[in-house]
Amino acid sequence: MSILDILLISVLIIPLIFIFIAWAFLFRSFIRDAANYVGDKYVEKKYVLKPNERINVKLNGKCVIIVQGSYGWVILSRASKIRQRIYRIKLLDTLNEDVEIINSSRVFSVIVLIRCQDSISSPNNY
């Protein structure tokens, strides 16, 4: 390889490294700020969803749903029967609403962390 090739590769690689670092920093700050959406006093529950598993929960008040794990996608089905695919985080403002959370992966388990300002109840005794 010539010096020109090495220089060209370094000019292309170094900005990509800086862009990735900036993205990771901003993404972490978005998650941290969204977790503070519910305020200081909140109720928190953690669920582990195996592949193709679903849970039903009843949420009340300001809520945030955080998905942790290698596969960050889940399907959220609210009382209006509209299904939404969410990636990593979802902010909700609910009033005694039934929510179904589905792990759409066939391989990976995910951890779903739910924080609500008022209450979380699990009708299916999970």
Domains defined for the chain, CATH in brackets: 1-126 (2.60.120.10)
pLDDT of residue 109: 95
Residue 114 C-alpha from the chain's centroid: 10
pLDDT of residue 123: 64
d(CA 84, CA 74): 8
pLDDT tens-place values along the chain, 126 residues long: 788 888 888 888 989 999 999 998 998 899 889 889 998 899 999 999 999 999 999 999 999 999 999 899 999 998 777 899 999 999 999 888 899 999 999 999 999 999 999 888 876 644
pLDDT of residue 94: 87
Tell me if 74 sits within 8 A of 110, measured CB to CB: yes
**Strand duo 54-68 + 83-87: pairing:** unpaired
pLDDT of residue 59: 92
